Structure 1
């Protein structure tokens, strides 16, 4: 009821643009956008939740205090395992106000953005004209892998500035990109007994931005395409990490605890549809997507092994919690 009331306010606000349409048509378009909003929430949220884990791993390649002004440049490959529980969700005809499954089925198991490439047809009646659309496919990948570059710069007093950046990674049904930066400080330098036993403790705070986009609903009506073919999830995450490590010859074994808080924003993007000549659909649905923005907190464990030889370091890390994430990287040290 609250959503329908919100749509009415939006439609009346744009009354100068839509005088040619009947109240029935406006109500039906409103119901269609409500159904798209409901679908988008269930379709994209598993992917943005997973993106937070992908951005959390392997920020700290060593808990040791580095030499002043030392620079470490690394190339990493991050692999995220897509859990089965987040690959699909159930839709029922009773969930929708405008759309219905084609045929006799009243419910279906459809893919999320992390799911397979199954599709179903949804139909609706817009003032006597049939509207047909296919449900969006998922990435259809059990593992999602992307490369990124990171750089660490050691300042005096055991502090490091760290940054990471990935180019836009092409997924089967969309794109993924992440960047971030943070500060790490070595704590064990204040406890000589720990240092003498080659035990190291460091704390870190960092920020990451994840941008994940997917092909969404290609909806054609008698007024033109709705222009909601692409759906973006943009996540701003603040991470806090405490790591303890033990040196054993050339190896350093790290255990970390990470807490992060993420703000999620969802927007319809891409080329606007022909319906924009009649009704600003992208603006309307983006205002309504604001209603599903939310903040989440995650608690993540990570274990990692760092192997050093000459000026190179090889890091392998495994992060776990709600999801599982693997990371491997090679870094070169510039003294």
Structure 2
């Protein structure tokens, strides 16, 4: 497990609260700077979670027969591009009270990045004695992940009128020191049935789908003790995501080609995990970092049918790349 070095002294100022920093602009600016640093660290993790959440919902434009069930086990592999492993931070533009030491800017790791030797420095007036002091702390080390794996089960049921509904649920699990949990539901409707022609299962199929899902990811690190202010041990990302997409597929005997275009609408929040009287103040300000994001995505995949089983493979391209493999059993 990576040891993420959080700037202990700076966070400890947050715990002094209303007594020492009352009416002092330093507190507001310090918190703002730390929120910028936290956002640059965690935001790519939220974006990656949104892509993984949107993957694998439907692998064909055709639908199950009425009241037929399909039980599936999926595995996602999120590939992290190099541009998402580091973030640029600039003095005066991004941060005000805190500064990059020895430079006007620096590349700091995101949650996917590796170790760093970037140092920050902070010059402040100590409210306890009035003296101007300078302190240094190191940027947070990332988890050094180039790919994240995410398994989940799913159940799909065929409904009347060429419609099917899918639900997925995964209780919290740990994979490579990262905790995952997800739940959601989706609906798909086939439009090829309205074309005036004799229906053939191997004809080109066209459908549209909409899904909602919630995805929680817990990036754990070695507990950091900052008595009496807080104990920190993780960063949580909570993502809510809507997906709207159109799908097309063509069956060739037992082999099927699949493609889809869609748009994702996501909202995500951050939270530090741990204990201590200063932690609620930090998390209250972190809640203001919640972001809304709209992304376009494309899927391409292949299915192979045998007996009551189907093996699906799907590749998703957006601001991240994701591969999905599923094993399906039809009842």
- Structure 2 equivalent of residue 312 of structure 1: 309
Deviation of 1:182 (Å) = 1.0
Q: Which moved more, 1:204-213 or 1:223-232?
A: 223-232
- Structure 1 equivalent of residue 8 of structure 2: none
CA contact (8 A) 2:115 2:144 kept: yes
Instruction: Select which of 96, 101, 113 maps to 2:111.
Output: 113
Instruction: Select which of 150, 153, 160 maps to 1:149.
Output: 153
Q: Does 1:258 align with 2:262?
A: yes
Distance 2:221 2:44 in 1: 15
Distance 2:222 2:329 in 1: 45
Encode CA deviations 1:52-100: one digit per residue, 9 max, x unaligned. Answer: 1111112112221321111111111101110111100133454544444
Whose strand fraction is larger, Structure 1's or Structure 2's? Answer: 2
Q: Does 1:135 align with 2:139?
A: yes
CA contact (8 A) 1:133 1:217 kept: no
Q: Structure 2: give runs of 5+ residues left out of the alignment.
A: 1-13
CA contact (8 A) 1:131 1:219 kept: no
- Structure 2 equivalent of residue 53 of structure 1: 51
CA contact (8 A) 2:109 2:141 kept: yes
- Structure 1 equivalent of residue 183 of structure 2: 179
Deviation of 1:208 (Å) = 0.9
Distance 1:22 1:291 in 2: 21
Aligned length: 310
Encode CA deviations 1:235-274: one digit per residue, 9 max, x unaligned. Answer: 1111112111111110111111111211222233x2223x
- CA gap of 1:22–1:81, structure 2 versus 1, over 3 A, is closer
Instruction: Select which of 258, 283, 294 maps to 2:291.
Output: 294
- Structure 1 equivalent of residue 212 of structure 2: 207
Find the residue that maps to 1:198 and give its secondary structure.
coil
Q: Which moved more, 1:73-82 or 1:124-133?
A: 124-133
CA contact (8 A) 1:219 1:225 kept: no
> Cα RMSD over matched residues?
3.0
- Structure 2 equivalent of residue 271 of structure 1: 274
Instruction: Select which of 41, 44, 56 maps to 2:42.
Output: 44
Distance 1:120 1:225 in 2: 25
Find the residue that maps to 1:208 and give its secondary structure.
strand
CA contact (8 A) 2:150 2:175 kept: no
Q: Structure 1: give runs of 5+ residues left out of the alignment.
A: 1-10
CA contact (8 A) 1:318 1:324 kept: yes
- CA gap of 1:23–1:187, structure 2 versus 1, over 3 A, is closer
